[in-house]
Amino acid sequence: METKEELFAHLKDVTRVLEDPLVRRAFIDIDRADFVGEDYKVEAYEDYALPIGYGQTISQPTTVGFMFELLGAREGDKVLDVGSGSGWTSALLSKIVGDKGSVTSLEIITELFELGEKNTKKYALKNLKQVLVKAGQVGIPGKMFDRILVSAKSQELPPDILLQLKDEGVLVIPVKNSIWRIHKTLDGVIESKEYPGFTFVPLK
C-alpha cells in the first residue's frame, strides 16, 4: 500500500477493523506517516509494525484498529493510553473522544516521550496530556478512567490497573500473546474475553 487512502481501504474492507464510525474518522484525520521515522516514511502505509527506536515499535494498523474497536471509546470519555511511543495511538484516541473528552498518555522512555510530544504537536490536540513516568508505572494511582488502552504486553495483568477503571469501563491490554478485553460492570464485576494470536513488545 503506497497511499493513506489505500491503507484506509485495506483496514475498512479487507481486515474490517474500522466498523466504528469514530474509529474510522480518526484513522482518516490522523496520518500514520506523521508518527514514523524518516527512514520508514515509504512504509508508513503498510499494514505492519515499524521500529521507532529503543526496542519499541509503532503497531500494525490492523492491530490498532482491532484494539480500538474492542475499547469502544466514545465522545467525552476519559482515556488512559499506556505506552504511547510515537504518539500515534494517543492522537487517534484524542480525535475519538473529542473536545469534551480527555486522553492521558504515559511513556517511560524519555526519548520516546519527547518524540511523541513532537509528533502530536503536528495536530491541535487540546484534550491530550502526555506524561513521562518511571519504569514499571502502568497508570496514575488515584485517577479513574472510562477506557484504558495498553499497547505493550505483560506476562500478567498489572495488579493496580483495574483500580483505575471506572464502573462500566473497558480495559484493552496484551497479556502474553493475547489481547484481552476487560469490562467492569456497574456492580464492579469483571468480565473478560481473550483474543489470542498477537505479538507485542514487552511492557517495561
E-strand spans in 36-115? 50-53, 56-58, 78-82, 102-107
Of residues 59, 84, 90, 151, which has the active-site annotation? Answer: 59
Name the one residue in this structure whose C-alpha cell is 508508513: 44
DSSP state of 60: P
In this structure, are residues 70 and 170 in contact, taking their beta carbons and an 8 Å threshold?
A: yes
The yes-or-no answer on residue 154 being catalytic is no
Q: Which of 179, 37, 174, 204 is nearest to 106 (CA)?
A: 204
Spatial distance between the Cα atoms of 112 and 83, rounded to a whole number of angstroms: 10
Catalytic residue list: 59
